[in-house]
Structure 1
Amino acid sequence: MSGFDKTWLALREPADQAARHPGLVQVLARTLSALPDPRVLDIGCGTGSTWRSLARLMPGTTTWQLLDYDPLLLAEAERQIGPNPAVTFHRHDLNEIGTLPLTGTTMVTASALFDLCSEAFCKALTDRLVEAGCGLYAALNVDGAVSWSIPHPLDALMVDLFNRHQRTDKGFGPALGPDASGCLARLFDAQGYHVRIEPSPWHLDQASSALQMELLKGFRQPLLEVSDVPQATIDAWLAFRLAAIHEPESSCLLGHTDVLALPS
């Protein structure tokens, strides 16, 4: 799967960095610090946001392999990170789970990925990580909660329809959408892993108005695809929501959860 726009990824990166659950990041850092040669494989790396968020907080001996299928995003990640002997880049189709480069890897990381994936994908990946003895840090999986400080009567309907679209195929089978973190936790728990789920919501205000605008623009096509709500009604709701961004004290909450699964 590819097709994510680097402009969108740049817009969301500050919100993602602020949202990551600090307690799980601390546990991840302690876990890697206890290892003599910590190696991290970041899957679906995009432009390297996970590395930029975590690398400075992890032990200095950690090496990273950043993996994505999109060559343009990989090239942008390499450009932004620059020469770094601790970081390598690898192009790989995540649908080819059986050939993931896990040799020597102690932790797999991913951000904003698993809500796009199916249960079958998550099961196959879980089996591979368990076989390799790897842990998983899966951050920023949507949980379906979206709310605004300035309400509209159609908010609940539109969010429900959007979450319905979140469960359609995004390239890895029927997507889990808001059920992703729960699915990962269940799969790893069944394998005897220690699993924690913690909240990592976006809290967006006028300082993140550009991100809010792009987020809302991204609602339109999914809403048209999954409902028989008239286009005029959808456009009127979006016009209200876009205008409300600029109101004093306006804010938006978009829920995510982070998962950390560690071998026993």
Structure 2
Amino acid sequence: MSGFDAKWLTLREPADQAARSPVLLDKAAAFFAARAAAEGPVAVLDVGCGTGSTYRALNPHLPARSLWRLLDHDPALLEEAARQIGTENIDFFTRDLGIVEALPDDGVSLVTASAFFDLASADFIDRFVARLAERRIALYAALNYDGKVTWARPHPLDQRVLADFNRHQLTDKGLGPALGPEAVPHLSAALLAHGYRVETAETPWRIGTAEADLHIAFLRGMVDPVLEVGTLPAEVIGEWLAFRLAYVRGERGGCAVGHLDLLALPPG
């Protein structure tokens, strides 16, 4: 699976935390607390955990000493997660995320994943949802990219660059041909078909001058995918990037990057 380095995850985390829907986060926590009260010790499984951003967002809302399982394919990220959040009441798993059958979900009441399902294929999502439904596990899936980016200071090429970037989002990231911006609609439909109650919320990044470093990294991260798609000449993309970088720290230098949160609770 395509990986993300710890520096990028650290850079984006404040924007992620600010963007998360507090309503869906609280509802996810309430569901977990009710299950724990009714059934005794149950666990949260965080898939594609990175350095533990979802843990830091959700755990303060859960009952004390809640059990967590953090799963990622990258052992270096898991080591960093352990360093940042400790190991008390947490188990760490290094596994291929594409093997749904290997999910360590025994005794799990809630699965979480952040910035994950937009990297996945329709087939993977269908298999993942079937696994959750079989075990009546809830899903809290935050910060899925929805394909919408707007800049406060427009440029004539913004929509062409964004269209090529979104086209690249549909390429295989390690979990089959990715759904990119269509991930949440597909995920919602699959969950509804299994009788889940599904809620979504728009949770865009709001990037201003205080988040200039994130904005710069995001812009630079768009360039290689757009070049790979190849509908725009490299010099044109370079001119667009130069324009964008010139205004990042100035007046009207901000942008919004669209994301969607999803909460799905099992029937019954």
TM-score (norm 2): 0.96
CA distance in 2, matches of 1:38, 1:28: 14
2:223 aligned partner = 220
**Is 1:57 equivalent to 2:64 in the alignment?**
no
Matches of 2:163 and 2:197, distance apart in 1: 32
Number of aligned positions between the proteins: 263
Task: Determine the C-alpha separation between the residues in 2 that align with 1:30 and 1:65.
Answer: 19
Deviations 1:22-60 (A, max 9, x none): 110111111112123331000000011110111101222
TM-fit CA distance, 1:126:
0.5
3-state DSSP of counterpart to 1:218: helix
Does residue 76 of structure 2 align to residue 79 of structure 1? no
> Which of 186, 193, 203 is the equivalent residue of 1:183?
186
For the 8 Å contact 2:164–2:231, the answer to whether it is kept is no
Taking the aligned partners of 1:22 and 1:189, their CA distance within structure 2 comes to 22
Aligned to 2:124: 121
Structure 2 distance, partners of 1:206, 1:196, is: 32
Gapped regions of structure 2 (runs ≥ 5): none
Q: Which amino acid aligns with 2:83?
A: R
Farther-moved stretch of structure 1 (119-128 vs 31-40): 31-40
1:257 corresponds to 2:257: no
Question: Structure 1-normalised TM-score?
Answer: 0.97
Q: Output the amino acid matched with 1:176.
A: L
2:154 corresponds, among 151, 168, 171, to: 151
1:175-234: per-residue Cα shift (whole Å, max 9, x none)? 000001111100000000000111110000011100000100011110111122110000
Residues 133-172 of structure 1 correspond to what in structure 2 (within 5 A)? 133-172=136-175
How far the C-alpha of 1:62 sits from its partner, in A, is 2.1
Out of 198, 201, 214, the position equivalent to 1:198 is 201
Listed as ranges, the gaps of 5+ residues in structure 1 are none
Query: How many percent of aligned residue pairs carry the same amino acid?
Result: 49
SS at match of 1:219: helix
Instruction: Give me the CA root mean square deviation.
Output: 1.0
Quote the residue 1:233 is aligned against.
236
How do residues 10-89 of structure 1 correspond to structure 2 at under 5 angstroms? 10-36=10-36, 37-84=41-88, 86-89=89-92
Q: Are 1:38 and 1:61, in contact at CA under 8 Å, matched by a contact in 2? A: no
Distance apart, 1:61 and its partner CA: 4.5
Q: Distance in 2 between matches of 1:2 and 1:42?
A: 17
**1:92-150: per-residue Cα shift (whole Å, max 9, x none)?**
11111111111100010000000000000000100111111111111000010000001
* 8 Å Cα contact 2:215/2:248 also seen in 1: yes
- After alignment, is 1-10 or 135-144 more displaced? 1-10
Residue type of the partner of 2:251? P
Provide, for residues 130-173 of structure 1, a one-character-per-residue CA deviation record: whole Å limited to 9, x for no partner: 11111111100001000000110111111111000001110011
**Moved segments of 4+, more than 2 Å:** none
Does residue 108 (structure 1) correspond to residue 103 (structure 2)? The answer is: no
Separation in 2 of the partners of 1:187 and 1:61?
32
Separation in structure 2 between the aligned mates of residue 163 and residue 2 of structure 1, nearest angstrom: 16
